[in-house]
Amino acid sequence: MNTSLNLSCSTTTTCGISSSSSSCFSSRPKSSSFRAVIRASNVEPSDKSVEIMRKFSEQYARKSGTYFCVDKGVTSVVIKGLADHKDSLGAPLCPCRHYDDKAAEAGQGFWNCPCVPMRER
């Protein structure tokens, strides 16, 4: 797995959300907490967290009968997004969603993913 892939706003995720890098943050509020999240996104997740999320994802797919996106780049970005949230927030929030307050969402203590298979867990 390529762990040097750069997370960016121009990536299409498995949830079907995409945006161009030039307008990624233009429609969102410019609060100080939001700017902190933007700065934090330049930090790569730890190799340990990436590996944990990769193994979790593979095990979940195997047990649930689901499969990864055929575009390996999408899979890599989603796994790295989970790992980044695990490192920065202590919980692997779904990287496909926008959160007004990521810390509050992580503090709720449940898997927060809009994908149907994960919601039905």
Per-residue pLDDT tens digits of the chain, which is 121 residues long:
433 333 333 333 333 333 333 322 223 333 444 333 433 456 799 999 999 999 999 998 898 888 888 899 999 999 999 999 999 999 888 888 888 999 998 888 766 665 665 555 5
Gap between the Cα atoms of 74 and 66, Å rounded: 15
Q: Is 96 considered catalytic here?
A: yes
Alpha-carbon dihedral 43, 88, 24, 61, rounded to 10 degrees = 100
Burial label for 78, CB within 10 Å (0-12, 13-18, 19+), is: buried
In the set 24, 96, 113, 115, the catalytic residue is 96
Q: Which domains does the chain have, with CATH numbers?
A: 47-119 (3.90.460.10)
pLDDT on residue 117: 55
Q: Which SS3 state, helix, strand or coil, does residue 52 take?
A: helix
Backbone φ, ψ for residue 65 (5° rounding): 75, 15
